[in-house]
Amino acid sequence: MQKMNMFMIQRAFSSFSISRVSRLHQPVSHGVSWSFSHINPTEDSISQLLVHEGFIQQCSSGLYAMLPLAQRALDKLCRIVEQEMEAINANKLLLPTLTSLELWQKSGRWRPTNPELMTMSDHHQKQYLLSPTHEEAICELLSHKEDTSLSKLPLLLYQISSKFRDEGRPCHGLLRAREFMMKDLYSFDCDEPSAAKTYDVVTTSYLRVLSRLGVPYIRVEGSCGDIGGSFSHEYHFESDAGQDILLRCSNCGHCASQDFLLETRGGIVGQQEAHIECPKCSSSHMDSIKGIEVGHTFLLGDKYSAPLKATFQYKQGVRRPLIMGCYGLGLSRLVQATVTRCSSQNSIVWPWVLAPYKLCIIGPKRGSKESAASVWVESLAVCLQQQVPALRGDVIIDDRDAFTIGNRVYAAKRAGYPLVVVVGKHALRDMPLFELIDNTAAFRSLQETSKTPLFGEGLSSKSGNLLTQLELLNYLGVLCNELDQIRS
C-alpha cells in the first residue's frame, strides 16, 4: 500500500508539475551581442538566431542537435501529425535507418556517383544506405508476406524518423541539414484511379496539418525529378528567406514551381520565368516569389512496387504490383520554417500551436522591494494550468530571480514566449494585479486574409495592462481559445 501511495502522490504532483527556466537547458550565447534590428529575416539569420538563443546547436557540418525547447516544438508537431494520420486510418510504423543497398539496385535508383547518398558497410562487407527515403524498404516489407489482399486497400503506412542526405553545401540550420526528421507516408492501391483518390485523401490531410499551424502555405504542382511517378505537389511557405522559386499568375492566381513549369514547357532553362505563360489562363504575367519547401507528395505508380515485388492478390493465382504514392513532410525543417515565416518582426515568433511553452511567468528579483510578491508566482502557475485548458503543461516560470524583471522580460521576448505574465510590485496591493504581455500580434497578423476578425466577440487586447487574477484567467481563457482557432 505504501508503494501505491508513493505512486499516487507522485502522479498527482506530476499532473501539476511546473517547468522552470533554471532547470532548462537553453544555452544562450552570452558575450556575443545580437542586434535584432540587423535582421531582415533570411534563412540564415533565423538559423543563427535559433542557435544564438539556444534552440538548436551545430554538432558537425549539417548535423544539428535539437535542444529542449526546439524538441518540445518538434514533439508538438509530431502530435498534430499523428492525430491527422489517425483520422485517415494511416498506420504508424518504424523502418530501420539502414536500407540494404541491394534494394536500391533492384529499383534502379542506386548510382554510385550520387554524392548525396550516405553508405556504410557492416563487418561482413554488406552495404547499406543511411536512408534518405524508404520507397524501396517499404516495398520490400510488403513483398515478404502474402497478406496484402484487395480488402486491405488502400493501405497507408507512415513513420517519423531521421533521414540522411549528404548535402554538398549544408547550410541554414535545420533547412538544409544532412540529418533531419522526416514524416514519410506510403500509400498502396489496386489501380491508378483508386491511387489518385487516396492521393487526394492524404494530401488533404497534409493541408490540414499545415493549416493547423496557422502559417499561410502554398501548394503547387511540382516536378517529379529523381523519385519519378506521374505527378507531384510541393508545399511551400512564401518567404523572402526561401530558396525555391515559385511563379504566381497575376491574372488568375495560379501558382507553380519554376522547375515544374520549365520542365513541362520543354525544358527551357535559365532565368526566363518572365516568358512563361500561366498554364491555367495563358496570361503571360507570372510573378516570381520565393518559397521554403516543407513537403512534397508524389503519385508513383508501380515504379518501385513492380521491381521489388510489392503485389496484391488481384484474383486467385494472379498478383499485380501495388500502385503507390509517397508523401514527405519535413518535420525538423518545418520547425525552423514556421519560425522563419512568423518572425517578420525583430525577434523569434513561434506559431501558437508549436510554441515550446505558451506562457512564461516572471516573478520579482530576489532581495528587491517587491520580493514578497514572489509567493504569487507558483500559485498563479498552478491556477493558470488548471483553469485554462490550452495552457496545461505549457506554463514555465522564469525563476532566475538573481536577474531583474526587465532582464527576464527581454529574455522572454527573445525566446519567443507568446504570453508573459509579470508578478511585480502591483501584486502586493490589497487586490493584487499582474501584468500581461501579449507577444502574439506578429503571429496573429499572418492571417491578414482571414475573414473572421480576431477578438471578434468584444475582446480587446489587454497586453501591457494590469489585471486581477480573475481578469487574467477570464482574458487568457478567451484569448487562448481564439488563438487555438487560428488556421491558415
Q: Which of 39, 42, 44, 63 binds a second copy (CB under 8 A)?
A: 63
For residue 159, the one-letter residue type is: Q
Q: Is 313 in the site for a second copy (CB under 8 A)?
A: no
The phi-psi region of residue 228 (left if phi > 0; otherwise alpha if psi is between -120 and 50; otherwise beta) is left
Query: What are 431's three cell numbers?
Result: 487586490
CB of 211 to a second copy, least distance (A): 8
Query: Candidates 37-45, 52-60, 302-310, 429-437 — which segment interacts with a second copy by CB under 8 A?
Result: 52-60
- Binders of a second copy among 132-171, rule CB under 8 A? 137, 140-141, 144-148, 151-152, 155, 157, 161-162, 164, 166, 168
Q: Which residues contact 37 (CB under 8 A, 6 or more apart)?
A: 346
Closest Cα partner for 343 from 55, 21, 9?
A: 55
Q: Is 410 in the site for a second copy (CB under 8 A)?
A: no
Q: Is 3 in the site for a second copy (CB under 8 A)?
A: yes
Closest Cα partner for 421 from 371, 368, 363?
A: 363
Q: Is 97 in the site for a second copy (CB under 8 A)?
A: yes
Half-sphere exposure of 452 (CA within 13 A, CB side): 11
Closest Cα partner for 234 from 214, 275, 206, 212?
A: 206
Q: Is 457 in the site for a second copy (CB under 8 A)?
A: no
- Binders of a second copy among 181-210, rule CB under 8 A? 181, 208
SS3 280: coil
Q: Is 468 in the site for a second copy (CB under 8 A)?
A: no
Q: Is 178 in the site for a second copy (CB under 8 A)?
A: yes
Measure the CA–CA gap between 343 and 341, rounded to whole angstroms. 6
Q: How many residues bind a second copy (CB under 8 A)?
A: 88
Q: Which of 87, 150, 268, 441 binds a second copy (CB under 8 A)?
A: 87
Q: Is 315 in the site for a second copy (CB under 8 A)?
A: no
CB of 87 to a second copy, least distance (A): 4
For residue 291, the one-letter residue type is: G
CB of 71 to a second copy, least distance (A): 5
- Binders of a second copy among 109-138, rule CB under 8 A? 115, 118-120, 122-123, 126, 128, 130, 137
Q: Is 366 in the site for a second copy (CB under 8 A)?
A: no
Q: Is 461 in the site for a second copy (CB under 8 A)?
A: no
For residue 328, the one-letter residue type is: G
DSSP letter (8 states) at residue 306: T
Q: Is 7 in the site for a second copy (CB under 8 A)?
A: yes
**Are 482 and 455 contacting, i.e. CB atoms less than 8 angstroms apart?**
yes
Q: Is 74 in the site for a second copy (CB under 8 A)?
A: yes
**Are 74 and 181 contacting, i.e. CB atoms less than 8 angstroms apart?**
yes
Residue 13 or 267 with smaller CB distance to a second copy: 13
Query: Candidates 64-72, 234-242, 270-278, 299-307 — which segment interacts with a second copy by CB under 8 A?
Result: 64-72
Q: Is 95 in the site for a second copy (CB under 8 A)?
A: yes
Q: Where are the alpha helices (DSSP H) in 388-436?
A: 405-415
CB of 271 to a second copy, least distance (A): 29
Q: By rule CB under 8 A, what string of x and - marks binding of each residue 262-301 to a second copy?
A: ----------------------------------------
Query: What are 453's three cell numbers?
Result: 476578425
Q: Is 10 in the site for a second copy (CB under 8 A)?
A: yes
Q: Which of 42, 48, 100, 347 binds a second copy (CB under 8 A)?
A: 100
CB of 485 to a second copy, least distance (A): 7
Residue 222 or 325 with smaller CB distance to a second copy: 325
Q: Which of 5, 35, 37, 60 binds a second copy (CB under 8 A)?
A: 60
Q: Is 382 in the site for a second copy (CB under 8 A)?
A: no
Q: Is 12 in the site for a second copy (CB under 8 A)?
A: no
Residue 37 or 151 with smaller CB distance to a second copy: 151
SS3 142: helix
| Angle between the N-to-C axes of helices 469-485 and 375-387, in degrees from 0 to 180, rounded to the nearest 10 | 40
Looking at 166-278, which runs of residues are DSSP E strands? 179-189, 218-222, 231-238, 244-249, 255-257
**Are 194 and 301 contacting, i.e. CB atoms less than 8 angstroms apart?**
no
Q: Which string of DSSP letters, residue by residue, matches 145-184?
A: STT-BGGG-SEEEEEEEEEE---SS-BTGGGB-SEEEEEE
CB of 223 to a second copy, least distance (A): 24
Question: Phi and psi (nearest 5°) for 359?
Answer: -140, 135
Query: Candidates 178-186, 318-326, 427-435, 436-444 — which segment interacts with a second copy by CB under 8 A?
Result: 178-186
Bridge pairing between strands 395-398 and 19-20: parallel
Query: What are 146's three cell numbers?
Result: 502474402
Residue 4 or 318 with smaller CB distance to a second copy: 4
